[in-house]
Structure 1
Amino acid sequence: MPVTPLAIVETGMVTAVGLDTPSSCAAIRCAIDNFQETRFMDEGGEWQIGSEVALEEPWRGRVKLLKMASMSIRECIDKSGIGNPEEIPLILCLPEKDRPGRVIENDDTFFADLQDELGLEFSPLSRVLGHGHTAVAVALKHARSIIAEKKAKQVLISGVDSLLSNAALSAYEQSDRLLTSSNSNGFIPGEASATLLIAAPERSGKPQLLIHGLGFGVEKAFLGSGIPLRADGLTAAIKASLQETGCEMHDINYRITDITGEHYYFKEASLALSRTLHKRVEEFDIMHPTDCVGEAGAATGPLVIAYQNYFSVNGHGKGKRVIAHFGDSDGKRSAIVMSYSGA
């Protein structure tokens, strides 16, 4: 049975190609990246290519994460005109606890420091999620419950992460997942923050990007498992999101994903499409905006949704409905069906 949708009210972004939503999205739309040599060296003796956010000072590690998160949240709050942040829950998406190179030791302390950085205090309903790419779908599920139960009228969802650390790069290079001078089947490491302001849809008829179905699955044949890939987890997530929306895959016009360059995830997306699309369509495009900003970890989910909002609002969408899907290294999968009321 279709569920009550949510609406994207406003967004904020900090990426290597822009320090706000308009500049970041315009660059991604034009396929502009900012990939440069970093201060790290790969095992082949070449400088590692990365996608680094250039801030006013050369902050690193935890401090830089606080600065990026506060910038994207502040942009979202300022543009939406929120006057009572203490009544709004903030769901903060951070990297998985066991993710290589995670510089945040205590999530609660990081959240408190983020509030201090912003000079704000959010609702006691706020929480921290450590689910990587799929965290945005989990956050939307929590936001839907909060709004449906009238505990809050709006919810902020923000993600921040960076893979530009020696620990992260070394671990991913050892597992042959990093794009280096000796490996062409890998991702370019990056960093970013993105924020979404979520609310119930407006009744005024104003064009909005709406969030409909949410679906989740677990892939046993995750990357490096040695099990033949059938895309069971992603297929299950897509089917669940379609069921919540009350539509079929052929009713969707295109896809947007978190794919960052590894062949495994392109194959998985292709297999999942073949198992869920049962009627012939002329085209079924797939967008992957992380091509321009690199692998941004837990910031990827909110970033993809924020870009889709820009894409739809500016009339670039190839139809009314789009499905987003996300995957984590440990096999967690999620899918989100969206529609643009102005399309």
Structure 2
Amino acid sequence: MNAPLSILGTGMVTAVGHDAPSSCAAIRCAIDNFQETRFIDRGGEWQLGASVTLEKPWGGRSKLLKMLVSVLGEALRAAPEVDPSSTPLMLALAESDRPGRLHALDASLLHDAQREMGVALHPDSAVIARGRVGAAVAMLNARKLIHQNGHRHVLVAGVDSLLVSSTLAEFERRERLLTSRNSNGFIPGEAAAAVVLGAPVQSEQPQLLCSGLGFAMEQSTIDSEDMPLRADGLTRALQGALAEAGCGMEAMDYRLTDLSGEQYYFKEASLALSRTLRVRKEFLHLWHPADCIGECGAAIGPAMLAVALASCRKGYGEGNNILLHLGNDAGERAAVVLDYRTVRAA
């Protein structure tokens, strides 16, 4: 099934802004807010991070909850026709086995969000603990809920923080962090983002549509030592999304990705492009918001959708056809084809 989805509204809380307009403006201008954290790396230097500063010094579960409720409220205000009590929420969270992940997060965060918002979420709401690919999986679920189960709208949100001592210690042990001793790594961050999805409607105003989704598994993961990287998984995910959208890679104007600084993922993106682009293009630029907001795990997918919507509505993107791709450390790969256009009667 490749029935399209329309992205109607967004919300963001990042290290560079407490709402979607300010966050997207900072990302557009390549502004970051990387600062020394309270953590020290193995070289004895302060660890850089992209932390979110809220009105009170919340931390842990409380901070995740406050960020989540904020982005949900902003996304709902951007789409006032949405009734939150009849709208399922697909919530993307960190993988259940990631070091430092808060205990019992899946079971409690949805319930806590309902209490904080004063709204009973629809029973079809669910948690998707798949890290960076969580938003794409949520969009797949949303497509079914809207086009098969009759829901008018679905909320897709992600919230995450890697600024946890045990999380940082494990990633530094695996030489994944950017530190004073390692240049091939990412800057950890935290964020939340949300989008409202619905079925496309006939309108003279253009809409940002998801017209293709693709998924696959990569056997040669970032932690593999005995398999060469050929980007088989990402290539298949890209091919699947493009096939659903009925176009080739040459139709894309630019790429939005979850890349956050590690050479492995940049190499994978380059290999996958070389295996899917069969028509010469002078440019197919790669946008990676993590350059500004840090590696923010499960929040990056909805944040990328918010950046795509802002770039289309404000006209600073490189075209109306956008390819998103995401991948987590377990090898799951996802691709999303977006196009910004007017929907008219057939």
Q: TM-score range with shorter-chain normalisation?
A: over 0.9
Partner of 1:306: 306
Structure-2 separation of matches of 1:264 and 1:112: 37
Partner of 1:22: 21
| Within-5 A mapping of 1:192-271 | 192-226=191-225, 227-271=227-271
TM-superposed deviation, 1:82: 4.3
Partner of 1:144: 143
Q: After superposition, give the CA deviation of every residue in 1:230-289 in whole Å (9 maximum; x if it has no partner).
A: 000000000000111111111111111000000111100000000000111121111101
The letter for the 2-side match of 1:170 is A
SS of the aligned residue for 2:102 comes to: coil
Structure-2 separation of matches of 1:158 and 1:266: 26
Aligned partners of 2:8 and 2:78 also within 8 Å? no
Q: Does 1:189 align with 2:167?
A: no
The list of structure 1 runs, each at least 4 consecutive aligned residues, that deviate by more than 4 angstroms after superposition, is none
TM-score (norm 2): 0.97
Partner of 1:105: 104
| Within-5 A mapping of 1:117-132 | 117-132=116-131
Structure-2 separation of matches of 1:83 and 1:160: 21
Structure-2 separation of matches of 1:105 and 1:256: 32
Aligned partners of 2:259 and 2:288 also within 8 Å? yes
Partner of 1:166: 165
**Structure 2 alignment gaps of length 5 or more:** none
Q: After superposition, give the CA deviation of every residue in 1:33-76 in whole Å (9 maximum; x if it has no partner).
A: 00000000001100000000000111111110000000000111
TM-score (norm 1): 0.97
Partner of 1:280: 280
SS of the aligned residue for 1:155 comes to: strand
TM-superposed deviation, 1:117: 1.1
Structure-2 separation of matches of 1:26 and 1:215: 29
Structure-1 separation of matches of 2:36 and 2:281: 42
Aligned partners of 2:84 and 2:121 also within 8 Å? yes
SS of the aligned residue for 2:293 comes to: coil
Q: How much is the aligned-residue C-alpha RMSD, in angstroms?
A: 1.1
The letter for the 1-side match of 2:156 is I
Partner of 2:329: 329
Aligned residue pairs total 341
Structure-2 separation of matches of 1:228 and 1:83: 47
Aligned partners of 1:161 and 1:298 also within 8 Å? yes
Q: Does 1:153 align with 2:143?
A: no
Structure-1 separation of matches of 2:105 and 2:57: 23
TM-superposed deviation, 1:161: 0.2
Q: After superposition, give the CA deviation of every residue in 1:83-133 in whole Å (9 maximum; x if it has no partner).
A: 621110011111100011111424122210111111111111111100111
**Structure 1 alignment gaps of length 5 or more:** none
The letter for the 1-side match of 2:250 is H
Aligned partners of 1:104 and 1:110 also within 8 Å? no
Partner of 1:37: 36
Aligned partners of 1:62 and 1:104 also within 8 Å? no
SS of the aligned residue for 1:292 comes to: helix
Structure-1 separation of matches of 2:100 and 2:28: 30
SS of the aligned residue for 2:236 comes to: helix
TM-superposed deviation, 1:3: 2.1
